[in-house]
């Protein structure tokens, strides 16, 4: 499930980048008043602004939802990794080493 959400998240990110780059800025409307009415032929009389703005808002909302979903998945994984259940198998006291008697250094006679 996490892989599916991640793939959808990446596709939404790429689509948002493309849509934002396709949209024209506020200064481009001045060029349309001097005879550049190409936007009205494809998207109707209102131009492409309304359609692209709504589509960008929808993709942004979906991107936000997938971001929150991925954050919840990441939180669940980190909670499981650092819970007491994960470290319950670790011994609490170190194992005893076998007792050895101290040996005196050998002298070279």
Sign, CA dihedral 88-90-91-92, equals negative
In a domain, 71, yes or no: yes
Q: Total structural domains in the chain?
A: 1
CA atoms within 13 Å, Cβ hemisphere of 55? 14
In a domain, 69, yes or no: yes
On whether the CB atoms of residues 70 and 12 are closer than 8 A, the answer is no
In a domain, 44, yes or no: no
Percent of the chain with pLDDT over 90: 39
pLDDT at 69 over 60: yes
pTM of the model: 0.57
Q: Give the DSSP per-residue string, 26-38.
A: TTHHHHHTTT--T
In a domain, 93, yes or no: no
In a domain, 94, yes or no: no
In a domain, 70, yes or no: yes
Residue 12 domain boundaries? 1-21+50-81
Beta strands of the chain (E only): which ranges?
A: none
In a domain, 75, yes or no: yes
CA atoms within 13 Å, Cβ hemisphere of 30? 3
pLDDT band at 52 (very low <50, low <70, confident <90, very high): confident
On whether the CB atoms of residues 66 and 12 are closer than 8 A, the answer is yes
In a domain, 55, yes or no: yes
- Ranked by mean pLDDT, the top range of 29-33, 74-78, 101-105 is 74-78
The whole-chain average pLDDT of the chain stands at 77
């Amino acid at each position: 499930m996490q892989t599916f959400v991640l793939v959808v998240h990446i596709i939404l990110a790429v689509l948002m980048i493309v849509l934002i780059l396709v949209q024209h800025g506020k200064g481009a409307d001045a060029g349309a008043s001097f005879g550049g009415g190409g936007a009205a032929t494809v998207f109707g009389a209102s131009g492409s602004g309304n359609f692209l703005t709504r589509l960008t808002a929808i993709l942004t909302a979906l991107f936000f939802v997938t971001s929150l979903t991925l954050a919840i998945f990441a939180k669940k994984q980190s909670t499981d990794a650092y819970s007491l259940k994960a470290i319950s198998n670790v011994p609490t006291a170190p194992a005893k080493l076998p007792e050895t008697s101290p040996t005196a250094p050998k002298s070279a006679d």
